[in-house]
Structure 1
Amino acid sequence: MRKTILFLLLGVLLLTGCGNMGSTKEAVSNANPQPKKKVTVTTSFLYDMVNQLAGDMVDKELIIPAGEDPHLYVAKPEDLKKIAEADLLLFHGLHFEGKMQEVLEKKGYAVASTFPEDKIGKMEEDGAVIVDPHFWFDIDLYKEATENAGAKLSELLPEKKDEIDKNTKAYLEKLSALDEENKKSLAEIPEGGRYLITPHDAFNYFSRRYGIEVVAPQGVSTDSEVANKDIDKTVDFIVEHKVKAIFAESTTDPARMEKLKEACRAKGFDVKVVSGEGNELFSDSLAPKGQSGDTYIDMYKHNVKLITKNLK
């Protein structure tokens, strides 16, 4: 009888000990959680996109700081470290990150890689046909890029797939609502005044989507030279069509637009330059975090409001 009682007590102690060990392991696991997967992106657009879809499920690294010109950006040693350590590397593609393209293609995924050929903008520059990388101004293409990014994030985090899919669906609905809002706002501009003059050719997808003619003295890349003949051609267009306002961009030198204004004045026509903090169009970058225009949706709303206000 005494032996039976001893065996029963030993069994209880072992079960209790195992239970305590399990609790201890759980406590240790909670105290030292597994590190999050690292997602490195090239631009502020993609940083915002990943944030909308995955939030704090991942650690995010940005290569090209908000407000800088991706056409001209040259990778730094710390950027190469971000790329090497990334569990997932996302970039635009279409040669937008021109000086980094080769490095990115070796490890990364271009969110524009699935775009149909007939939807990708092309234009002639310096006698050659080049691809227009500014696809984010076509909301349908941006939605496709978002779905591509969502699929890659789900592959990276299969256990979070349902949540990422849910976030992707909700964000796509917001983008569709933004598109309708844009159409309604831009319709306020009279037919004869729908001309958008900007420093470089970043708004051609915008032009095709909303029926607003875009003219710029510089080509698709800010790395290209601005020829005098292109400046003269732009000035003639402004004067001929009596364009009410021309717009500076957040990532280009506003002095370019002032020169256009002076050239127009020399021909007897005054045009307003829309520039200065809070009054510049976002083209190749979102605003720095915490400022107006620091998300894709806020950026687009800012641009449409600025254009509509000054052209209607």
Structure 2
Amino acid sequence: MRKVIKVLFTMILMIGSLAGTVSPIFAEDKPAVTVSSSFLYDMVDNLAGDFVTIEMIIPTGEDPHLYEARPQDLQKIKAADLVLYHGLHFEGKMADILEPIGIAVTENFDPSEVGVMDNDSGMAVDPHFWFDIHLYQEATIRASEALIELVPDHKDEILQNLEDYRLKLEDLDKEVKEKIASIPEDSRYLITPHDAFNYFSRAYGIPVRAPQGVTTDSEVSNKDIDDTVDFIVEKQIKAIFAESTTDPARMEKLKEACAAKGFEVEVIRGEGQELFSDSLAPEGQEGDKYIEMVRHNVDLIVDNLK
């Protein structure tokens, strides 16, 4: 499939070259930035939203681990003056397209900060860095550098926006620590569908378990499910959480398996009651900005585990 995508991308480039331009996607009076995800859309908007036009590839609510580029996405890439993406294998099936032409906001990360033990008992790269607010700040710095290079006349404004955003993120980090600490220690366990919250666990002292690995295209073994069920029952965890980009039926199966062992656990799911992991909320809904998304997740966790 990756070969097919690369061939398609090459064809788009050839067509664009022959025609002189690709269909107008961006505003003509501002440099064009294409980002891979809703997280980066919000990041760029905070840093340089007044100075660039932004297009996003992976729609909000879709699973980025499984997403495959479409012709319109390739046009956005072709038309862009700057392409920003996560890296760390987050974009999965689009990596072959993005890596040669884009800038990964995680490219300066210390490799020791992004490894995690996967369910297959090996070390895996975990792409979900935004759940550690300090790592997210590092990513904003790399994004700001790329944006300043794109629009150097607005360097001072972008640096000021970066500092203003940094202060908001520092306040958010303190808020999260206080709220998570309010959960009694014997109730402070987070169960999610896939292993997206390892950075959150490390930063805020809440153990996390999930039946699936760090990507949603990894296999879920019966042993992983059984181990998660045993953990829930042993720790008497009263609530487990669905995610906005995964099938909640997986958590219902955990609930049924716990009930078979004589323990009742509640699945937190439904509109406005799911954790955001791999995407922000659609525009206009709660959680459509990074800071609001973090608050939504933390409040949902605290309200149901406290």
Q: Distance in 2 between matches of 1:256 and 1:167?
A: 41
CA contact (8 A) 2:84 2:105 kept: yes
Q: State the Cα distance separating 1:128 from its structure 2 match.
A: 4.1
SS in 2 for 1:60: strand
What pairs up with 1:1-312 in 2 under 5 angstroms? 35-126=29-120, 128-312=122-306
1:272, 1:128 → 2: CA distance? 31
Structure 1 residues 133-161: Cα deviation after superposition (integer angstroms, max 9, x where no partner)? 10000111100000110111111001111
**Structure 1 counterpart of 2:138, one-letter code:** E
Identity of counterpart residues, as a percentage?
Answer: 66
Counterpart amino acid of residue 128 in structure 2: H
CA distance in structure 1 between the partners assigned to 2:123 and 2:28 by the alignment: 49
Q: Which runs of 5+ in 1 are unaligned?
A: 1-32
Show the counterpart of 1:4. none
Looking at structure 2, the residues matched to 91 and 125 of structure 1 have their Cα atoms a distance apart, in angstroms, of 26
CA change 1:34–1:95 in 2 (3 A) is: closer
CA drift of 1:237 comes to 0.4
> What is the CA distance between 1:226 and its match in structure 2?
1.1
Secondary structure, in 3 states, of the residue corresponding to 2:48? Answer: helix
- Please give the secondary structure, in 2, of the residue aligned with 1:273: strand
Q: Structure 2 CA distance, aligned partners of 1:248 and 1:122?
A: 22
Name the larger-Rg structure: 1
- The 1:111–1:36 alpha-carbon spacing in structure 2 relative to 1, beyond 3 Å, is same
Q: How far apart are residue 47 of structure 1 and its match?
A: 0.1
Q: CA RMSD in A?
A: 1.1
Q: Following TM superposition, by how much is the alpha carbon of 1:114 offset from its aligned partner in structure 2, in angstroms?
A: 0.3
Distance 1:226 1:156 in 2: 43
Counterpart secondary structure, 2:177: helix
Q: Measure the CA separation in 2 of the matches of 1:121 and 1:34.
A: 41
Q: How far 1:112 moved relative to its partner?
A: 0.3
Comparing 238-247 and 125-134, the one that deviates more: 125-134
Aligned partner letter, 1:224: S
Separation in 2 of the partners of 1:185 and 1:226? Answer: 32
Q: Secondary structure at the match of 1:130?
A: strand
Query: Aligned partners of 1:289, 1:55: CA distance in 2, in Å?
Result: 15
Letter in 2 for 1:57: F
Q: Residue 223 of structure 1: SS of its match in structure 2?
A: coil
Partners of 2:288 and 2:295 in 1: CA distance: 11
- State the Cα distance separating 1:201 from its structure 2 match: 0.1
| TM-aligned CA deviation for residue 129 of structure 1 | 2.6
State the AA in 2 paired with 1:195: Y
The one-character-per-residue Cα deviations of 1:240-263 (angstroms, maximum 9, x if unpaired) are 000010000000000111110011
Using the size of structure 1 for normalisation, the TM-score is 0.88
The AA in structure 2 aligned to 1:309 is D
For residues 121 and 204 of structure 1, what CA distance do their matches in structure 2 show? Answer: 10
8 Å CA contact retained: 1:123, 1:132: no
Q: CA deviation at 1:125?
A: 4.2
Instruction: Give the partner amino acid of 1:143.
Output: Q
Tell me by how many angstroms 1:127 deviates: 5.3
Name the SS of the counterpart of 1:172 in structure 2.
helix
Letter in 2 for 1:131: V
| Number of matched pairs | 280
Give the whole-Å Cα distance in 2 for the aligned partners of 1:86 and 1:66. 20
Q: CA deviation at 1:57?
A: 1.2
Q: Could you list the runs of 5+ residues in structure 2 that have no partner in the other structure?
A: 1-26
Q: Which sits farther off after the overlay, 302-311 or 124-133?
A: 124-133
